[in-house]
Structure 1
Amino acid sequence: MSYVDGFVLPVPEKNLAAYRKLARKSGRIWREHGALAYVECVADDVEPGKVTSFPQSVKLKPGEVVVFSWAVYKSRRHRDQVIKKVMADPRLGDSMDPKKLPFDAMRMFWGGFKPFIEL
């Protein structure tokens, strides 16, 4: 079995290129420090729901798009080791400063998940 971190966030369409650049850099660093996979996806078919949905979950505003991302690790312990290395990596510098991110970090959510089925 593995372990997965999942992220959902709103990105202004005008900042999508800047986000892509940051995500590409971050993904390389995650992989270098041991993540087995790193994937960034932009919403393609995520209509607002009646009760809940991806757009509602991040309080999507006009001109924004939902991004769904995940990283895969060997285990929770491995994830914790990778994250510790990633957060200490000087190449990220101040690019993780919430004031300098190309999206509203206050509307981002994430969490760690233990798969219970892997096919």
Structure 2
Amino acid sequence: MERYVDGFVFPVPTDNLDTYREMADEAGQLWIKHGALEYVEGVGDDMEPDMDGMSMRTFPQLTETGDDESVVFSFIVFESREHRDEVNAKVMDDPAMDPEHFDEEMPFDEERMAYGGFRSIVSYEE
């Protein structure tokens, strides 16, 4: 089955990681409730890997992460692009997404977030 993935990468001030985790937990529950197959949020751990001398751009370089920031990488898995569009429409219509529901501003700079939708070309599952 060809899956579809929405992917995100962005820096979060390290002091805001607990606040971000709480927000991500609520978001994950919301996407799963409306049909997403999987929701994953990860914080950078091995950001300067040894690749046997292979030159590559790291996530901190990509996101221009400062010393007081951490890289967050997240993705949501769907059955297809059409399924993604259906789930995201339901999420956006959910009362939990009403701006009045949010007590605080986002715990990261939204303008520094990179996002894209990806059609799978190889996928393995157990």
Same fold (TM over 0.5): yes
Q: Confirm or deny that 1:93 pairs with 2:98.
A: yes
State the match for 1:25 in structure 2.
26
Question: Secondary structure at the residue paired with 1:61?
Answer: coil
Determine which structure has more spread, i.e. the larger CA radius of gyration: 2
Q: 1:56 corresponds to which residue?
A: 61
Q: Deviations over 1:12-69 (max 9, x none)?
A: 1110010000000000000000000000001001129x76221122110121000000
Q: Percent identity?
A: 48
| Greater alpha carbon shift after TM alignment, 83-92 vs 3-12 | 83-92
TM-score of the two chains, using structure 2 as the length reference: 0.85
Alignment-mate amino acid for residue 3 of structure 2: S
The yes-or-no answer on 1:114 pairing with 2:115 is: no
> Runs of 4 or more off by more than 6 Å in structure 1?
none
Quote the residue 1:67 is aligned against.
Answer: 72
Q: Counterpart of 1:47? A: 48
Q: Aligned partners of 1:8, 1:95: CA distance in 2, in Å?
A: 26
Flag structure 1 segments of 5+ consecutive residues without an equivalent. Answer: none
CA distance in 2, matches of 1:19, 1:59: 19
Q: CA deviation at 1:106?
A: 0.8
Q: How much does 1:91 deviate?
A: 0.7
Bigger CA drift: 17-26 or 84-93? Answer: 84-93
Task: List runs of 5+ in structure 2 lacking aligned partners.
Answer: 50-54
Question: Which letter maps to 1:9?
Answer: F
Tell me how far apart the structure 2 counterparts of residues 15 and 39 of structure 1 sit (CA, whole Å).
18
- Which residue of the other structure, out of 94, 103, 107, is the alignment partner of 1:102? 107
